[in-house]
């Protein structure tokens, strides 16, 4: 602010001389000011003493400060309205908000940081992390190939491929790439305690059968008969067709027994294909115990129901089937991938084929799934991922 040439005392002294009878022109010449300045002084300070003039000057200065504060408050309110629809959570969002205020409203860095609530050192910080371009591309490719896999299973696949990064780093890159698995709306589930279904820990101890339905691009419906080994979680067969009768189920089971051996027990629901005379005669002829679950209790056939859910989520909902041959080709490829390449969380992230190969072990290891888990997959399971128990040995 420019310093005034005359103080209030000097101005009032000049006005006193004018009141005493001095001419305006002579006073202006004497003090080196214009006559207009004398008239302005008289309009502002006429009739005042020195104390009143000082008080007027103080009021003017205070008024200037209040106007400045009001202008700053209005500017701050306008800046906050600019950030009204931006979430100021996290360093990246705050850096973006500060940059927007500086570019759009011309605020200084200090003032923008004060409005956003960010430290200036945080705003100036620049990450020194490597861009991880190759790893990001690898994660994107895997996520595009397996759309229903989350970061945990992607981490398992990357670790199996030799990637040394930890699960936290994979999760960070997964989120930065904007990847996520869309959650499907789940059904209401019964509330209550559930215990594990006891199964003898060996292959062919028990098989589960169930149907899953879908339709072709033309709208024609078809069904898939799924046969699952409850102990190893392997898919023994997935047979798609437009109709599957009880006789067809018997033929497929006979062929499967010829390749794999006889199961101890077979579990199914009460569908007409399984309760037909053809199936009853077949089970009696082959001397295989057949267990029918209670009506309306699908969780009694939980292993096959879980497999059906994985098949629908990862294959049926993601594929448009053009015909029966196309469905057979796609389903066979997916079953092969499920058995030999897809990590199974209930088997400590081993594949069903790898877990089945590890079952011919000592009896103690079969009865202690934790020891089997540690010996095979302690280096694979990601930190923070709950390892579900393997099938428990009966007896």
Question: Packing angle between helix 167-176 and helix 133-145, nearest 10 degrees?
Answer: 80
pTM over 0.85: no
Task: Produce one character per residue of 5-17: b if its CB has 16 or more CB atoms within 10 Å, e if not.
Answer: eeebeebbebbee
For the chain, give percent helix, strand, coil, nearest 5.
55, 10, 35
Measure Cα distances from 60 to 38, 72, 323 in Å. 20, 19, 88
Residue ranges in the chain whose pLDDT is less than 70: 1-4, 19, 47, 49-54, 84-87, 185-197, 361-395
Contact (Cβ atoms closer than 8 angstroms) between residue 248 and residue 281: no
What contacts 53, CB < 8 A, 6 or more positions away?
8, 9, 11, 12, 45
């Amino acid at each position: 602010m420019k310093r005034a040439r005359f103080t209030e005392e000097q101005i009032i002294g000049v006005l006193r001389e004018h009141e005493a009878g001095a001419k305006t022109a002579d006073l202006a010449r004497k003090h080196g000011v214009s006559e207009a300045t004398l008239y302005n002084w008289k309009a502002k300070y006429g009739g005042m003493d020195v104390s009143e003039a000082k008080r007027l000057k103080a009021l003017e200065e205070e008024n200037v400060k209040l106007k400045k504060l009001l202008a700053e408050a209005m500017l701050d309110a306008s800046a906050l309205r600019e950030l009204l629809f931006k979430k100021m959570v996290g360093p990246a969002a705050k850096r973006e908000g500060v940059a927007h205020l500086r570019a759009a409203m011309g605020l200084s860095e200090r003032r923008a940081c004060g409005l956003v609530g960010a430290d200036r050192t945080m705003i100036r910080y620049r990450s020194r992390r490597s861009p991880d371009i190759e790893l990001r591309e690898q994660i994107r490719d895997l996520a595009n190939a397996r759309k229903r896999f989350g970061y945990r299973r992607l981490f398992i696949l990357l670790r199996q491929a030799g990637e040394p990064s930890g699960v936290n780093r994979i999760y960070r890159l997964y989120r930065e790439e904007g990847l996520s698995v869309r959650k499907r709306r789940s059904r209401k589930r019964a509330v209550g305690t559930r215990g594990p279904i006891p199964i003898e820990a060996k292959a062919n101890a028990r098989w589960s059968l169930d149907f899953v339905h879908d339709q072709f691009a033309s709208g024609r419906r078809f069904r898939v008969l799924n046969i699952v080994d409850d102990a190893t979680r392997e898919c023994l067969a997935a047979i798609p067709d437009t109709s599957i009768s009880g006789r067809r189920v018997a033929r497929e089971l006979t062929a499967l027994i010829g390749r794999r051996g006889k199961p101890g027990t077979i579990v199914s629901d009460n569908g007409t294909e399984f309760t037909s005379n053809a199936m009853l005669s077949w089970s009696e002829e082959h001397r295989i115990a057949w267990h029918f679950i209670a009506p309306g209790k699908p969780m009694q056939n939980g292993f096959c129901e879980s497999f059906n859910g994985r098949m629908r989520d990862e294959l049926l909902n993601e594929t448009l089937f053009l015909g029966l041959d196309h469905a057979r080709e796609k389903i066979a490829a997916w079953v092969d991938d499920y058995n030999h390449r897809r990590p199974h969380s209930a088997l400590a992230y081993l594949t069903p084929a790898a877990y089945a190969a590890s079952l011919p072990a000592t009896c103690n290891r079969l009865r202690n799934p934790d020891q089997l888990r540690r010996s095979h997959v302690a280096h694979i399971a990601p930190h923070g991922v709950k390892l579900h128990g393997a099938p428990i040995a009966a007896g």
